[in-house]
Structure 1
Amino acid sequence: MRIGIVTPVVVRLPGAHSEWERGAGIEEIGRIAETADRLGYHHLTCSEHVAIPAPVAEERGGVYWDPLATFGYLAARTARIRLVTQVLVLGYHHPLAIAKRYGTLDRISGGRLVLGLGVGSLKEEFELLGAPFEDRGPRADEAIAALRASLSQRTPEFHGEYYDFSGFVVEPHAEQARVPLWIGGRTARSLRRATTHGDGWVPFGLPLDRLAEMLGGADLPDGFEVALSAGRALDPIGAPEAVERALLRVREAGATVTGVSLSADSAGHYCEQLDALRALGREAGAVFQGHDD
């Protein structure tokens, strides 16, 4: 199992972020990204929302940094750590727009992109952007297939019900021959979508025993990634035993990758927590890339 971090500051969910994040900006994010990169963590995350209705923001939060701009900056400050959109809402974009924009990100980052993709559920945001809502599920399935045919191609071609294109040049495009696609969701259908069209599954909002049950009943392809959350913010320095238990639980539930949030009172403290978490993670059998010991 590998460990990635749920990047602080870029998303602020009510009751789920530290107070220091309110006044933090790109320099603090960059410092944390550099530390995570040096320590060998697997990935950073950044989510996507364009505009949240004010009443909904009270529940879901209103702070969502744009992943493309954020990752473009962080790509220049890091060398190995992967950049994971968690998640892009497929219905907000034409597949070739994703192929061009995020293919460019893959190229400038040296092939470190992981596209986390989701169907989306916020009807008001779909309507604001002029995106169809009612048939978003089948549209998403086709968009994933179109992306698979397009991301690493100079002259992509795809013919479907919703998307149909050929004879266009997309340059630059992704450096990776196969950009990993992690599919988000919390239903059996999302897991089937992931195993059929993607390279990994990123579930949310489900207890670990239910996730283990779902995964146990699924036919997972070779190399398929299961990215599970480690739960509430961890405190590796103050509560190492609880951190070890949390890592063990997600690994036993079937995680090949886990995303962690960390408790901290400053960016500097967050970096100290990353160092402590690496030591605990290695004791628990987690793998880090290119240790700087």
Structure 2
Amino acid sequence: MVQVLGQGRLVYGMQLPVQSQSSLFAESWEADAGARELAEIARTADRSGFAYIASCDHVAIPRRLARAMGTTWYDPVATLSFLAGVTERVRLLSHVAIVGLRHPLVTAKQYATLDHLSGGRLILGVGAGHVEEEFDALGADFAGRGGVLNESIDALKAALGQDEYPEHHGERYQFSGLGQRPRPAQERVPIWVGGSSPAAVRRAATRADGWLPQGDPRTKLPAKIAKLKELRAEAGIEAPITIGTIVEPLYLGEPDWEVGRWTLSGKPEAIAASLREFKAMGVHQIQIRFRSRSVDELTDQMAAFGAEVAPHLND
């Protein structure tokens, strides 16, 4: 059985900066950053009690979306593998892998190797994707991506288990008698589903070990969680599920620069009290992001969060 992350405690992780640089969320300093900064951030997360660090997935961005999304999207397997080598404890999350762009056996080979080499630290976050040109360029099915994702999850459950010769017989993918080693270090790699649409909530409830909502405001999250639990119960699934959320941007202390109207700032105790509201809703893990003007400011914020906010998340 895959356990709920945190086992009853509210835990925290973060999407890595630098590796994805959409104009919607990237800070200006990230444009000139690279491996050194990523390693420093990952080590800080490892020291500061972060449950995971996460990396996104896009293969290629069309010109029509480049202004908003940018074209800097590091490969998640390469990025997380690099960071596995400079950390010891923090888990490695793909948030999210667009698994419909690749055959499940290719995805399984990449991520099983990552889990094996990292000593069992992988969490495979998956999503449907939204860039049609990306699918078209790779010969993938954009119109049917929801069904592809559903079957891919089923295939990956088989391919990321402990059977050296996994089997799957589905509508789109069939494989048996094909051995893949190394096997994951974990008995079974946890699979989390990203997305907040009704289809994504149903997919998470009926197929996944975790749910990664995308941008749901606090006011709407309790109803979504209730629906998720309802669908899971209807499907007769008793195994626990890790429920997550992405919180508002954070800045510890009183900023002397413009951090944005939605940013939570102030004393650590006040920030912790605000974040505890998510635990009361039934959330198990929060994904946090800090406003920052440099990598040093970011790592200072991360370290302060681990030392001054995290101890109060479960008061």
TM-score by length of 1: 0.92
Distance in 1 between residues matched to 2:38 and 2:207, nearest whole Å: 32
CA contact (8 A) 2:20 2:74 kept: yes
Distance in 2 between residues matched to 1:245 and 1:188, nearest whole Å: 30
Does residue 1:236 correspond to 2:252, yes or no? yes
Equivalent position of 1:169 in the other structure: 179
Distance in 2 between residues matched to 1:142 and 1:216, nearest whole Å: 25
CA contact (8 A) 1:44 1:82 kept: yes
Equivalent position of 1:283 in the other structure: 312
Greater mean alpha carbon deviation, residues 236-245 or residues 273-282:
236-245
Deviation at 1:189, TM superposition (A): 1.9
Does residue 1:250 correspond to 2:288, yes or no? no
Deviation at 1:128, TM superposition (A): 1.0
Greater mean alpha carbon deviation, residues 87-96 or residues 264-273:
264-273
Which of 184, 187, 207 is 1:197 aligned to?
A: 207
CA pair 226-154 structure 1, distance change in 2 beyond 3 A = same
Which of 196, 207, 223 is 2:240 aligned to?
A: 223
Secondary structure of 1:87's aligned partner: strand
Correspondence 1:111-150 to 2 at 5 A: 111-150=120-159
CA contact (8 A) 2:42 2:87 kept: yes
CA pair 66-246 structure 1, distance change in 2 beyond 3 A = farther
Distance in 1 between residues matched to 2:154 and 2:227, nearest whole Å: 24
Distance in 2 between residues matched to 1:140 and 1:284, nearest whole Å: 34
Unaligned 5+ runs, structure 2? 1-9, 233-237, 255-264
CA contact (8 A) 2:273 2:313 kept: no
CA pair 18-167 structure 1, distance change in 2 beyond 3 A = same
Distance in 2 between residues matched to 1:132 and 1:6, nearest whole Å: 27
Deviation at 1:281, TM superposition (A): 2.2
Equivalent position of 1:259 in the other structure: 287
Which of 1, 5, 23 is 2:14 aligned to?
A: 5
Does residue 1:101 correspond to 2:110, yes or no? yes
Identical residues among aligned pairs (%) = 36
Q: Aligned AA for 2:247?
A: A
Equivalent position of 1:269 in the other structure: 297
**Cα deviation code 1:160-191 (max 9, x no counterpart):** 11110101010112111110100011112211
Distance in 2 between residues matched to 1:150 and 1:276, nearest whole Å: 40
Distance in 2 between residues matched to 1:25 and 1:273, nearest whole Å: 19
Matched positions, count? 285
Q: Aligned AA for 1:75?
A: A
Greater mean alpha carbon deviation, residues 42-51 or residues 9-18:
9-18
Deviation at 1:15, TM superposition (A): 4.1
Secondary structure of 1:139's aligned partner: helix
Unaligned 5+ runs, structure 1? 287-293
Equivalent position of 2:77 in the other structure: 68
**Cα deviation code 1:202-254 (max 9, x no counterpart):** 111322221211112332544311120012x2112333346335413433333
Distance in 1 between residues matched to 2:117 and 2:177, nearest whole Å: 25
TM-score by length of 2: 0.86
CA contact (8 A) 1:6 1:261 kept: yes
**Cα deviation code 1:32-56 (max 9, x no counterpart):** 1011101221000100001001121
Secondary structure of 1:218's aligned partner: helix
Secondary structure of 1:217's aligned partner: helix
Distance in 2 between residues matched to 1:263 and 1:253, nearest whole Å: 25
Deviation at 1:61, TM superposition (A): 2.8
Does residue 1:207 correspond to 2:217, yes or no? yes
Secondary structure of 1:255's aligned partner: coil
Secondary structure of 2:228's aligned partner: coil
CA contact (8 A) 1:85 1:117 kept: yes
**Cα deviation code 1:80-117 (max 9, x no counterpart):** 10000000112101111111111000000000000000
Distance in 1 between residues matched to 2:123 and 2:220, nearest whole Å: 25
**Cα deviation code 1:143-167 (max 9, x no counterpart):** 1001001112311111111110101
Greater mean alpha carbon deviation, residues 65-74 or residues 243-252:
243-252
